[in-house]
Amino acid sequence: MNGKIVAFCCENSAYPAADLAGKLGLHYSENLRIIRVPCAGRVDVIHILKALENGAAGVLVLGCEEGACRHITGNTRAKERVEYSSMLLREINLDGRVVAMFNLSPNAPHKFVKAVNDIGNITAEPGR
Amino acid sequence: MIIAERKPIEEIRLMMAPYKKILVAGCGTCVTVCWVGGEKEVGILASELRLARGAEGRELVTLEATVDRQCEKEMLAELRDKISDVEAVVSLACGAGVQTMAELFEDKPVFPAVNTTFIGMPEGEGLWVEMCGACGDCFLDRTGGICPVVRCAKGLLNGPCGGTRRGGKCEIDAEKDCAWVLIYRRLERQGRLDLMREYRAPKNYRAVKRPGRVQAAKA
């Protein structure tokens, strides 16, 4: 069984997209743990690191499409924090790819599933 | 305020390698403002150290604490219980904070997690620039409030070097303003250009005898 993936989902985009994926019966990893956040900008570096420390194999931050954030810059800030977290992991010789940010709209369930599968493929690589 | 930069994680990991239980201590003043040693950065460094240690298959226990000012013993005293419980301390304060901590808790090794770089001010988001060299012989009254000692790449006291680029930039670094162009424009704006003709004698760099010591006058 692959490790758990924690997905911080913006309640204005990724969370409804996940909901829609469920309604449509789309398949994605059963190891996913969704954490609903009011905005991707709420997710800070420490949340990402603590998720990994507590056993997550991968962390997704899913926010609104660029330019569509209800809180104006939440998604761009989230992206910067994800990139920073990834850099911190590389600094300590861990795989920075296990932390990723995706932008999607609430009516994009397939994109949600793809994001989950993409990171799932990385965390499932042999030798990890 | 005092500006600092985080040391490379590899250097901090090497310092912490012999220890199993450490305190990661932040400072709530200057290093918090320059995003390097406040409560948030304490959490991130502690987490990074634990993750790195975990990847080695060894455990690291970290306590975390941030005091208002690590350069004051009264404020550091509140860490006494936590420090008695750990083998070593890694401090994210400036050099003054690290040394105050090391002096107050002499039996514990205290390690710096940042390099203290200069006294400066924020110029933009996440960008700080040096403003003061703490030379102890201030003559900002004659330079329009702009210090050529640190803001001129050559520290010249009597006008620009002749290498000023078009647009008033420094010949050493085209991104930086020539301090003497800034001084000229400031004095011109204030109608004090006569100060440009004033000769400034070689600076007394011994004004502050190291280590510096200042006793405030008692009222």
pLDDT digits (tens, 9 = 90+) for A32-69: 999 999 999 999 999 999 999 999 999 999 999 999 99
- Give the residue from chain B lying closest to A49, CA to CA: B47
Q: For residue B192, give the amino acid letter.
A: R
| pTM, to two decimals | 0.91
- Residue A3's pLDDT band, with cuts at 50, 70 and 90, is confident
- Domain ranges across chain A: 5-123
ipTM of the complex: 0.90
- The whole-angstrom separation of Cα B219 and Cα A109 is 72
**Tens-place pLDDT, residues A86-118:** 999 999 999 999 999 999 999 999 999 999 999
Q: Is A53 exposed, middle or buried (0-12, 13-18, 19+ CB in 10 A)?
A: middle
- The whole-angstrom separation of Cα B170 and Cα B152 is 8
CB atoms B51 and A46 under 8 Å: no
CB atoms B47 and A94 under 8 Å: no
Partner residue facing B9 (CB), from A45, A49, A91: A91
Partner residue facing B47 (CB), from A49, A91, A93: A49
- The whole-angstrom separation of Cα B126 and Cα B42 is 18
A52 interaction partners in chain B (CB closer than 8 Å): 51
Q: Is the pLDDT of residue B172 over 90?
A: yes
Q: Is the pLDDT of residue B34 over 60?
A: yes
Task: State how far residue A128 is from chain B, nearest Cα, in angstroms.
Answer: 11
Half-sphere exposure of B55 (CA within 13 A, CB side): 16
Q: Which domains does chain B have, with CATH numbers?
A: 2-117 (3.40.50.2300), 133-197 (no CATH)
- Residue B117's pLDDT band, with cuts at 50, 70 and 90, is very high
**Tens-place pLDDT, residues B56-84:** 999 999 999 999 999 999 999 999 999 99
Please check whether residue B125 touches A, CB under 8 A.
no
Task: State the average pLDDT over residues B45-61.
Answer: 97
Strand segments (E) across chain B: 2-6, 21-27, 61-67, 88-91, 110-112, 114-124, 127-132
B44 interaction partners in chain A (CB closer than 8 Å): 45-46, 49, 88
Give the three-class secondary structure for B22.
Answer: strand
- The whole-angstrom separation of Cα B132 and Cα A98 is 43
CB atoms B44 and A89 under 8 Å: no
> Most A CBs within 10 Å: which of B24, B39, B48, B62, as the mutation test of the A interface?
B48
Structure-token pair, residue B73: 């013993």
8 A C-beta contact, residue B30 and residue B71: no
CB atoms A52 and B51 under 8 Å: yes
CATH 3.40.50 assigned to A5-123: yes
